[in-house]
Structure 1
Amino acid sequence: MAGAPLRVLLVSPLPPPVGGIATWTRILLREIACDPGIAVEHLDTAVRWRAVTQISAPARLLGGTAQALRDYLRFRSILRSITPDVVHICTSAGYALRKDLLMLRAAASRGVRAIIHYRMGRIPALAQSQGGEWDLLRQCTATAHTSVVLDRRSMRALREACPAADVRSLPNMVDLMAVDGVLGGLDNSDANSALDCAVCLVYVGHVLPSKGVTDLVEACRLTGLRLRLEVVGPAEDAYCRELASRSGDHTTLIFHGTLSHEEALETLRRGNVFVLPSHSEGFPNVVAEAMACARPVLATDVGAMPEMLDAESAEPCGICVEAKNPAALADAITLMAGDAGLRAAMGARGRRRAETEYAAPVVTRRLTELWREVAALSG
């Protein structure tokens, strides 16, 4: 007779709204549902009281404090009712670290080992700043049994700062079955003959200055090329008007707004190059999806993106440039626009890397092995 399933209390958001952590959660819960040896109790921490583009500090502090209290009380209630074998807390850090620390301490008080999963790429920068957020992050790392980060640079920084801590690196995952299901009937060629432009660029994400969208529009203008830039994601009207005024005469700028996941993938596939010029990132799901779509990626040298694209190797899946540098981004766009063979080769390598490194079953297996390892130590 099989033993009782491993009980995991997972603290993470689910869509809506769509975001990197929420997408990861959705894919993970679907994968875990196929494993009878694991029973997940999920605490949904999605922020639904404000628009994703509403980022003012006062609103985030007041509304976030109320939500943090609600999430913490729900966490305590679930912790008492099911006594999980493992707690797994996903966090984007920032204001949420105070709540995360309280949850970690509550789990420890009941003898439950906890994993904290840092879902952002700012750890090296925080280690240099030595500010209040870094102090809280170190406290969380010291309290958790295991800390999980998204990239090797973050892992090195956290291990150096907390040498006694167990720090692991785990990539995000991409749902290849879903991608292929949506795109199976679409043309996979790079040809752009139907459009009167050198190349079609696609951006998918929150349309914000911090995501480098202003940099991207400026870079397109600097190339002097006739380009098509399709922007997918939630945006404020005033910011869209500002971007349009900056785009110049040679860039056809199209705002799609928020699309369904399927529509976003179709838009990404129709383009020649995916661009994500963020100022800060963790391990963006959309980059993995672009790779799964066999599209080359232009990104900034932040978070896990250089690692994802194998950017320093002889056979990269894309190009990484310095963040907040429109001129460098313009040079990379010009290179991609003029070399269809380069685009095709990078896209093909990206697809292979998505299959071997980031496919949902591969990453889920690594995570469940970690859960079982931590639970065994707890027992």
Structure 2
Amino acid sequence: MKKTKLLFITPFPPPFGGIAILSQSILNAGLKDCFDVITINTSKKALREKIDSVRFSGILNSFKNYLKLIKACHSNRDAKYAYITGTSNWAILRDFLYLIILKFYNIEILFNLHGTRKLEQSNGLIKWVSQKAMAYSTYILSPTRVDFEAAKKLSNRPAKVKLFYNATNLSVPVEPKYKNLLNAKEDVTLIGIGRLSDAKGAYDLIPLVIQLIDKGHPIKLIWIGRGAYEADDKWASDLINKQSAKTQNRIHLLKDLTEEEKFNYLQQADLFVLPTKNDNLPVSILEAMACGLPVISTYMGAIPEVIIPNKNGWLINHSNTSELKSGILNALKQKDKFPDMGKQNTEDFNRIYNAVNRVNELVAMITNSPN
């Protein structure tokens, strides 16, 4: 049987941001087994992606992507569906033109739209364009329940808004350890993954861990990820170099790891910590869950929908180093709970956050498309 064609318009790694990893995960989780997938990679393919700025290279990249999409639509006149990722911020102005091109070719749109929870307080133009984009779409896919509820209120047809959690497809086999840390003097390894930036909470976490180590707490920290800017990497390097040799040996800042290396570090760690200040549902949290780690994170986006305090982790308010300190120390006092929390996270990952589930949802939506 001939497969239905699906245009897949989204960034792919590099850079290794959450949306890019989500997109690659869905593709790797069997999407090509279900559809004839035509990918349009909208990434600039740069290892280091500058954020929070508009640059000529970004504008040029957008125009190249518009031309790629027009060519793909023209070459695949029998394509009926397109999956596209976007965000309800200034980027929606760029993404909206993708939707116009798709509508011109009468292609139904499944729009994975992040950030609709912020639309009521957004710039009027962003809100207007976002609502137009939702109106053009056959389905709006929301990565969090709060985004889902906000999108339903703003959509011209609430029934087409679907909850579509971030997910990942593990690129390497993992075997959760569920370690018992019964020795009070045994080191506890904390691990965080993401941009080494203030937005991910690294500027709060790293100095705090240094303080705790200096006070004699038996902890280590591994952070995996480049800075959003070169200045972030320099800040962290300068900070670590000022510390004693003992402290330096307990803090490891890693970048450009292979997937195998990343998951090896995750499986050897004891507690995942990501005090993020601006996220929907970080893929790194899902990866930590798959590896059987309890999680400390913040009340951001869908994180409270995933991490339930004292069940599979702990939550704190972002940008609050006092709460972060209390959260880590509280977790250290409850090391006996780590194995059960880790098992709960592995179970939740397999049941909900494995990318195979998102592929099945896409198949169901396209099969039952109202058009």
C-alpha separation in 2, matches of 1:234 and 1:220? 19
User: Is the counterpart of residue 217 in structure 1 residue 211 in structure 2?
Assistant: no
Q: Residue 258 of structure 1 is aligned with which of 249, 256, 259?
A: 256
340-349 or 133-142, which moves further after superposition?
133-142
CA contact 1:101–1:143 (8 Å) conserved in 2:
no
**Aligned equivalent of 2:8:** 10
Q: Relative to 1, partners in 2 of residues 1:33 and 1:125: Cα closer, same or farther, differing over 3 Å?
A: closer
Q: Residue 43 of structure 1 is aligned with which of 26, 40, 45?
A: 40
**Aligned equivalent of 1:229:** 221
**Aligned equivalent of 2:135:** 142
Instruction: Give the TM-score of the pair, scaled to structure 2.
Output: 0.88
User: Is the counterpart of residue 114 in structure 1 residue 109 in structure 2?
Assistant: yes
The alignment partner of 1:295 has SS state of: coil
CA contact 2:135–2:156 (8 Å) conserved in 1:
no
C-alpha separation in 1, matches of 2:109 and 2:100? 9
Q: Residue 66 of structure 2 is aligned with which of 72, 79, 104?
A: 72
202-211 or 133-142, which moves further after superposition?
133-142
C-alpha separation in 2, matches of 1:278 and 1:318? 15
The alignment partner of 2:368 has SS state of: helix
**Aligned equivalent of 2:83:** 88
User: Is the counterpart of residue 342 in structure 1 residue 340 in structure 2?
Assistant: no
C-alpha separation in 2, matches of 1:168 and 1:302? 20
**Aligned equivalent of 1:295:** 293
CA contact 1:217–1:246 (8 Å) conserved in 2:
no
Write the deviation string for residues 249-276 of structure 1: whole angstroms up to 9, x where unpaired. 8683211222111111111121110111
Q: Relative to 1, partners in 2 of residues 1:56 and 1:140: Cα closer, same or farther, differing over 3 Å?
A: closer
* % identical equivalent positions: 21
The list of structure 1 runs, each at least 4 consecutive aligned residues, that deviate by more than 6 angstroms after superposition, is 245-251
**Aligned equivalent of 2:194:** 205
C-alpha separation in 1, matches of 2:241 and 2:191? 19
Q: Relative to 1, partners in 2 of residues 1:132 and 1:197: Cα closer, same or farther, differing over 3 Å?
A: farther
Instruction: Give the TM-score of the pair, scaled to structure 1.
Output: 0.86
250-259 or 136-145, which moves further after superposition?
250-259
User: Is the counterpart of residue 241 in structure 1 residue 214 in structure 2?
Assistant: no
* Structure 1: runs of 5 or more not aligned: none
Write the deviation string for residues 27-67 of structure 1: whole angstroms up to 9, x where unpaired. 222333562x5211111111224723x3362xx33221111
AA aligned to 2:270 is N
AA aligned to 1:294 is G
Write the deviation string for residues 155-190 of structure 1: whole angstroms up to 9, x where unpaired. 1112222353421111122325x44x2x44x85424
Q: Relative to 1, partners in 2 of residues 1:323 and 1:209: Cα closer, same or farther, differing over 3 Å?
A: same
CA-based RMSD = 2.6
Q: Relative to 1, partners in 2 of residues 1:24 and 1:67: Cα closer, same or farther, differing over 3 Å?
A: same
Count of residue pairs the alignment pairs up: 360
Q: Relative to 1, partners in 2 of residues 1:129 and 1:246: Cα closer, same or farther, differing over 3 Å?
A: farther
* Structure 2: runs of 5 or more not aligned: none
Cα drift, residue 192 of structure 1: 8.7
C-alpha separation in 2, matches of 1:62 and 1:187? 47
AA aligned to 1:189 is K
C-alpha separation in 1, matches of 2:55 and 2:287? 32
AA aligned to 1:232 is I
Q: Relative to 1, partners in 2 of residues 1:132 and 1:276: Cα closer, same or farther, differing over 3 Å?
A: farther
